[in-house]
Amino acid sequence: MPHLLVTGASGFLGGRTAAHFAGVPDFLVRATSRSTKKAGVLTQLGCEFVPGDLTDANFVSTLVAGIDIIVHCAALSSPYGIKSAFESANIIATETLLQAARNAGVSKFIFISTPTIYVDLTSKFNVKESDPLPRKPVNRYAETKLLAEQIVLSNNTQAIQTLALRPRAIIGAEDTVIFPRVLNAYEKGKLKIVGRGDNLCDLTCVRNVIEAIQCAIHAPDHAFGEAYNITNGEPVNFWEMLNYALESLGYDRVTKKVPKGLAIRVAGLVESYYKLFLPHNEPTLTAYGIAVLADHFTMDITKAMRLLNYKPVMTTKEGIDEFIAWHKIQ
């Protein structure tokens, strides 16, 4: 009976992943996070919940004892923050966990990476894993996740097989990032269409990410040592998708527009102000945020479909509807 460790279990993806595998026959699930906010729920579902710090080598070596497969979801995923915090959460924690996994005889290490590593504030279509990456990562999150991914993939061996998944914009019930951020901006009257409003984007239902993890666990040997784009496989108009969600929640559509060039200039001024006077706070507007709202960004998932046998099991509309149903009862 495989013993699975899921990190970041108090977060959106980690919590949903741990809960899912707790219900899969023949899997034993150990979940970990610094926070214990989901400990009660996950324990009731049958998970063993072990809170702790992944940068603590002694704790981690105890944590991975008896584990066969690690799904490493834990990360500091904010678009803004202090460099040392990102290095600690995304690089040191991954190195510590990987070293302990090797020592403990863990057989598979699945790393949740990010397609933010592709972002360079321009539109991109059908991005492949083999496409050249920007010379300079768009933010510290992208920089540290890329370094962590490279460490994980370089440690792929017969003893411990490693691979990385790059899911784009995860949505669904328990989402605390994408739609909550948008709704917060909307309710403050700060949400406007940036640019022409025709930008296409890829999203990924959390259920599809879990499906990709499942595929990775059962992947053939030759599929390891690689990174894989993961999406719903159906690019959508960003603003049509957003307005569908808003209307489903009883809000009016977003119709007011602001030129992209103006938005980027304002974002630059805001970021400069925060760097000078509020260096520990996330700016209310960033160039990266403008890119998310205005640029086309679609990804090619052919590699995952071919080597992992990945097939999306939920549509984008179903993922949005799942979030809406959950949000209404919060």
DSSP 176-199: -SHHHHHHHHHHTT---EETTS--
Question: Would you state the pLDDT for residue 291?
Answer: 92
Question: Would you state the pLDDT for residue 284?
Answer: 84
Residue 220 CB neighbour total at 10 angstroms: 9
Query: Of 50-59, 99-108, 150-159, 184-193, which gets the smallest average pLDDT?
Result: 184-193
CA dihedral 121, 125, 129, 134 (to 10 degrees): -20
Read off the pLDDT of each residue in 37-41 and give the average, rounded to a whole number: 96
Question: Would you state the pLDDT for residue 279?
Answer: 83
What residue numbers bound the domain in which 27 lies? 3-170+204-231+300-313
How does pLDDT run across 154-208, given as a tens digit for each residue?
999 999 999 999 999 999 999 988 999 899 999 999 999 999 999 999 999 999 9
Tell me, yes or no, if the pTM score tops 0.85: yes
Question: Would you state the pLDDT for residue 275?
Answer: 86
Residue 304 counted as domain residue: yes
| Mean pLDDT, rounded, of the chain | 96
Q: Read off the pLDDT band of 255 (50, 70, 90).
A: very high
CB distance 175 to 206 below 8 Å: yes
Residue 137 counted as domain residue: yes
From CA 15, how far away is CA 115, in angstroms rounded? 21
DSSP letters for 63-114: HTTT-SEEEE------SS--HHHHIIIIIIHHHHHHHHHHHHT--EEEEE--
Residue 278 counted as domain residue: no
Residue 219 counted as domain residue: yes
Read off the pLDDT of each residue in 40-69 and give the average, rounded to a whole number: 98
Is pLDDT above 90 for 280? no
Percent of the chain residues topping a pLDDT of 90 = 92
Question: Would you state the pLDDT for residue 24?
Answer: 95
CB distance 181 to 293 below 8 Å: no
Residue 237 counted as domain residue: no
CATH code, 48: 3.40.50.720
CA 300 to chain centroid: 17
Token pair for 49: 């919940």
Residue 187 counted as domain residue: no
Residue 248 counted as domain residue: no
CA 223 to chain centroid: 21
Residue 276 counted as domain residue: no
Is pLDDT above 90 for 82? no
CB distance 54 to 93 below 8 Å: yes
Q: Read off the pLDDT band of 285 (50, 70, 90).
A: confident
Q: Read off the pLDDT band of 18 (50, 70, 90).
A: very high
Total domains in the fold of the chain: 1
How does pLDDT run across 217-252, given as a tens digit for each residue?
999 999 999 999 999 999 999 999 999 999 999 999
